[in-house]
Amino acid sequence: MDKNKYQNILKEYIPEAAIDGIIELLDKHPVYFEITRERVTKHGDFKILRNGQPKITVNHNLNKYSFLLTLIHEIAHLTTYTKFKRVKPHGIEWKNEFKYLMLPFLNNLVFPNDILPYLAQYLKNPKAATGSDVQLSMALKKYDIASDRTFLFELEKGAPFKLRKKTFTLGNKRRTRYECVEEATKKRYLIHMNAEIKRL
């Protein structure tokens, strides 16, 4: 592993105080790691390639704290697979791995003080996506580069928005999802309240 190469790459994407810890994890758990284009439906993923090699990808456009959280989320999938092979993707094995891997980074040298309380709360029972935690999502979003994207729950009823190249109108809320009508087809969809959308 070329640590200098990883340091030069990672310093653009994660907090400086986290670099050595991440390099140590990647050295201990070899994986093909790719920083990829923005994907609306996910921030990162983990998979096993046909040749048996594990691969992790993380979207290039995440802020440093979201990028780090996503990367450790995916490394936890890698370590879970190494230890247990086939288990539920976000089951108890993954939750325990993720919490264990996050502990060394859960401090104010890595994460700002306004993120830490929400991150600590989220880690008590981590979900498949950080976006499922409204408070953590909002805390992380403050560090995003300015963009025209927002969360669905920030819109008012009846507001138009764009998601995955389709235009919708926001309807009534049902627990954690909203009824939304696609303009072109008039079909109704249930979309998660924390979906990142483009306000129109």
Q: By C-alpha distance, which of 31, 59, 64 is closest to 45?
A: 59
- Residue 147's pLDDT band, with cuts at 50, 70 and 90, is low
Residue 170: domain span:
149-199
**44-48, strands of its sheet edge to edge:** 32-36, 54-59, 44-48
Number of separate domains in the chain: 2
- Residue pair 101/22 in contact (Cβ under 8 Å)? The answer is no
Average of per-residue pLDDT across 56-67: 94
Average of per-residue pLDDT across 80-108: 94
At 94, which amino acid appears? W
| DSSP characters over 121-176 | HHTTS--S-GGG-HHHHHHHHTTSPP-SEEEGGGSPTT-EEEETTEEEEEEEEETT
Please report the pLDDT score of residue 1 as a whole number.
Answer: 61
- Judged by DSSP in three states, 94 sits in helix
Query: Of 169 and 146, which is predicted with more confidence?
Result: 169
- Is residue 146 predicted with pLDDT exceeding 70? no
Q: In terms of domains, do 137 and 46 share one?
A: yes
Q: In terms of domains, do 124 and 155 share one?
A: no
- What whole-number distance in Å separates Cα of residue 108 and Cα of residue 153? 29
Taking only the tens place, the pLDDT of each residue in 16-60 is 999 999 999 999 999 999 999 987 778 999 999 999 999 999 999
- What whole-number distance in Å separates Cα of residue 156 and Cα of residue 160? 9
Q: What is the CATH number of the domain that holds 179?
A: 2.30.30
Please report the pLDDT score of residue 183 as a whole number.
Answer: 93
Q: In terms of domains, do 162 and 116 share one?
A: no
Give the predicted TM-score (pTM) of the model.
0.79
